[in-house]
Copies of this chain bind each other. A is one copy, B any other.
């Protein structure tokens, strides 16, 4: 897949979120709050699934006294944007040269395939080399299906992903990219 260079150049500006010391989840939550406050989209992080072992009652209130963190079988974020179903996950990688595919669990890969099949917009937001990219689900799946590699080279992400612009008002404005991949706008606009 090739996208016009012009777009990439635009998105290279103002990517100074790394300086602010926020973690990726915090940056995305901030963007989602901006989208909600401005009635642009409804996107939420799903609660972390918890396996509850023991609940006590104190003053007629339930109190969990033994529980563990379970794993999400889907992706962490989903919601609604311009009438379309959106789902994505946020992934950090320490490596500067590649994104290890095992950062995405088997059941999450299966889920990405399903969302594509059912007509949803699905993608990964990947932080690598201090920059944040959006890698569209179909591109990610195509890589897996046509490669035996255990990681995606940084150059592939640079070429086939979209660097996400940092906007002083909106924070990480990933919906600008969704406008492109979701077919809301012509890429040449």
List residues of chain A with CB under 8 Å of any chain B CB: 39, 41-42, 44, 46-50, 61-70, 72-74, 78-85, 87, 111, 114-115, 117-120
B50 to A115, Cβ gap below 8 A? no
Distance in angstroms between the alpha carbons of A63 and B70 in the assembled complex: 11
Measured between C-beta atoms, what is the minimum distance from A55 to chain B in Å?
9
Distance in angstroms between the alpha carbons of A115 and B87 in the assembled complex: 16
Given A61-B68, A68-B62, A114-B39, are A83 and B120 also a contact pair (CB < 8 Å)? yes
Measured between C-beta atoms, what is the minimum distance from A25 to chain B in Å?
15
A118 to B42, Cβ gap below 8 A? yes
Q: Which residues in B have their C-beta under 8 angstroms from that of A68? A: 61-64
A66 to B65, Cβ gap below 8 A? yes
Q: List 14 A-B contacts (CB under 8 A).
A: A42-B111, A44-B73, A46-B46, A47-B48, A62-B69, A63-B66, A64-B67, A64-B69, A65-B65, A65-B66, A78-B78, A82-B118, A83-B118, A84-B119
Measured between C-beta atoms, what is the minimum distance from A106 to chain B in Å?
16
